């Protein structure tokens, strides 16, 4: 019994203790397990961090490379776009820009359509013999190269082989471990290609590198295009300048010739008119003496003939005088003696002079000259002739009951005088020619009334010698307005 009691008192608590410990162990085990799992997780995460860090470093490196490349490209682009000479564009591709892009070898070819071959425009990083080999290779493979240019795609050491040219082939021929070839302006006149490469085995061409070289090729093509356009424009301008100089010279020679002829004509007209005046005066004088009857009574027929001679002589003297005046003004022998002239006075003097004829032809003359346009700087005698001629013409070409008006107005610096009539008018096509010497419109009045066609040219010469202008506005059957300007008094 005692034994049983001792047993119960020792075994049971021990068993209970054991059970309790076992439970504790289990708990510890599960804690260990979860710790182990956490450690594993942490290990995985550490590995992930390292991997990500490596990738980030790689990306950073690539980014750095790209930035350096972009800077180099930007400097290169600027420097090649700063020249407009084709050869200079290629010469500006210097080794330092290439090395910033990660390459030390480069060359560029342009297709010459006349020679039907590729011409080397720049070559860096190759010996003379290597350069010759490259030239030979490119021209031996013209068709493939032209097809490559048309494909508009870059080719590099990481490109997949296609049936045009294999990267491995190019790598051997161009002695470059890594390289990029890019077409130049495939659609334009300046078709070509550029190559960049390196022997550096660590250099791995990326898509970004290909993109950069493609941009460089576009910039080069643009610079070439600009240079050619400039060259074209420059040539055209030179051609134009040459032509302008030639034409100017021709014109100067022609002008000199015209001046000489005109001077000769003026001299001729003036001397002939002079020579004509003396015999004419004699003819007129003798006719006048005979008409007086002092040399004997004249039969009616003879008198009539003599009167005709007298009239025609008058007309001839008039014409010769006009011709002489024109040639004198034209040659500058007559200078205008300008003074302050009163237009109202001049026109009323002309009105007085012509009043008999105005009455006879039943024409009214109305003069409207406001004070502000009344005073002009002119040669009085010459301006009187202008009015006599213009009013005389208006009378000649206006039927009875018609109206003639003289109106003046002030413009900015000049006085403008208008002589209007309600006469037969002048056809548009003749309105310029009437100011030329001897020109007369072919109309009924002119067939009946004699004239020389010199009056308006004389008027024009006088007005222009004053620094003024003369023009006409006219409508057939309605009338004409002759306008001229004269300088006003200051």
Which residues of this chain interact with ligand ADP, rule CB under 6 A?
393-394, 397, 421, 423-424, 426, 434, 439-441, 446, 451-456, 480
CA dihedral 43, 45, 49, 50 (to 10 degrees): 20
Nearest CA to 374 out of 409, 420, 419, 339 is that of 409
Identify whether the C-beta of residue 380 lies closer than 8 Å to the C-beta of residue 343: no
> Could you tell me the smallest distance in angstroms from the CB atom of residue 284 to ligand ADP?
20
Identify whether the C-beta of residue 91 lies closer than 8 Å to the C-beta of residue 120: no
| Tokens, residue 457 | 């040219």
Q: Which residues of 87-98 are buried (b: 16+ CB within 10 A; e: fewer)?
A: eebbebbeeebb
Nearer to ligand ADP, 144 or 318 (CB): 318
At residue 441, the 3 state secondary structure works out as coil
Nearest CA to 467 out of 378, 371, 339, 342 is that of 378
> Could you tell me the smallest distance in angstroms from the CB atom of residue 490 to ligand ADP?
32
> Could you tell me the smallest distance in angstroms from the CB atom of residue 445 to ligand ADP?
8
Nearer to ligand ADP, 103 or 461 (CB): 461
> Could you tell me the smallest distance in angstroms from the CB atom of residue 473 to ligand ADP?
11
Q: Strands across the sheet with 192-198, in order?
A: 117-124, 105-112, 192-198, 178-184, 155-156
Nearer to ligand ADP, 181 or 404 (CB): 404
Neighbours of 462 (CB within 10 A): 26
Distance CA 291, CA 302 (A): 9
> Could you tell me the smallest distance in angstroms from the CB atom of residue 346 to ligand ADP?
19
Nearer to ligand ADP, 290 or 326 (CB): 326
Largest CA distance in the chain: 217
Nearest CA to 328 out of 389, 382, 260 is that of 382
Nearer to ligand ADP, 186 or 453 (CB): 453
> Could you tell me the smallest distance in angstroms from the CB atom of residue 446 to ligand ADP?
5
Q: Which residues of 282-298 are buried (b: 16+ CB within 10 A; e: fewer)?
A: ebbeebeebbeeeeeee
Nearer to ligand ADP, 40 or 360 (CB): 360
> Could you tell me the smallest distance in angstroms from the CB atom of residue 397 to ligand ADP?
3
Residue 67 burial (10 A CB sphere; 0-12, 13-18, 19+): exposed
Nearer to ligand ADP, 439 or 471 (CB): 439
Nearer to ligand ADP, 285 or 427 (CB): 427
> Could you tell me the smallest distance in angstroms from the CB atom of residue 454 to ligand ADP?
6
């Amino acid at each position: 019994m005692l034994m049983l009691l001792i047993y119960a008192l020792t075994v049971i608590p021990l068993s209970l203790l054991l059970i309790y410990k076992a439970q504790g162990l289990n708990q510890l085990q599960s804690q260990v397990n979860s710790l182990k799992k956490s450690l594993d997780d942490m290990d995985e995460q550490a590995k992930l961090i390292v991997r990500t860090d490596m990738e980030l470093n790689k990306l950073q490196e690539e980014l750095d490379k790209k930035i350096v490349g972009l800077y180099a490209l930007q400097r290169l682009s600027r420097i090649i776009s700063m020249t407009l000479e084709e050869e200079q564009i290629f010469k500006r591709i210097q080794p330092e820009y290439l090395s910033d892009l990660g390459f030390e070898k480069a060359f560029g070819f342009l297709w010459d359509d006349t020679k039907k071959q590729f011409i080397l425009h720049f070559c860096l990083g190759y010996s003379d013999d290597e350069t010759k080999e490259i030239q030979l290779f490119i021209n031996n493979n013209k068709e493939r190269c032209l097809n490559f240019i048309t494909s508009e795609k870059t080719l590099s050491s990481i490109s997949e082989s296609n049936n045009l040219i294999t990267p491995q082939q190019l790598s051997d021929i161009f002695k470059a471990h890594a390289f990029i070839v890019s077409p130049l302006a495939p659609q334009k006149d300046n078709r070509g290609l550029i190559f960049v490469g390196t022997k550096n085995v660590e250099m791995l061409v990326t898509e970004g590198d290909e993109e950069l070289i493609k941009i460089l090729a576009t910039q080069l093509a643009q610079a070439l295009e600009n240079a050619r356009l400039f060259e074209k424009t420059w040539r055209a301008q030179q051609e134009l300048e040459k032509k302008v100089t030639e034409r100017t010279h021709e014109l100067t020679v022609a002008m000199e010739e015209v001046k000489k002829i005109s001077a000769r004509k003026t001299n001729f007209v003036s001397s002939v008119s002079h020579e004509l005046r003396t015999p004419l005066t004699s003819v007129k004088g003798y006719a006048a003496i005979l008409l007086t009857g002092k040399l004997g009574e004249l039969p009616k027929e003879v008198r009539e003939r003599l009167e005709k001679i007298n009239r025609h002589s008058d007309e001839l003297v008039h014409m010769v005088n006009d011709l002489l005046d024109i040639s004198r003004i034209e040659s500058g022998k007559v200078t205008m003696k300008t003074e302050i002239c009163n237009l109202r006075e001049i026109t009323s003097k002309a009105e007085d002079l012509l009043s008999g004829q105005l009455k006879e032809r039943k024409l009214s003359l109305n003069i409207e000259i406001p004070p502000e346009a009344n005073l002009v700087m002119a040669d009085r005698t010459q301006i009187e002739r202008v009015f006599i001629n213009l009013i005389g013409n208006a009378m000649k070409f206006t039927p009875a009951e018609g109206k003639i008006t003289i109106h003046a107005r002030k413009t900015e610096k000049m006085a403008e005088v208008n002589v209007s009539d309600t006469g037969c008018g002048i056809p548009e096509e003749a309105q310029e020619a009437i100011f030329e010497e001897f020109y007369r419109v072919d109309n009924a009045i002119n067939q009946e009334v004699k004239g020389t066609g010199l009056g308006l040219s004389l008027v024009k010469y006088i007005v222009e010698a004053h620094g003024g202008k003369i023009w006409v506005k006219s409508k057939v059957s309605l009338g004409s307005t002759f306008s001229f300007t004269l300088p006003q008094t200051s």
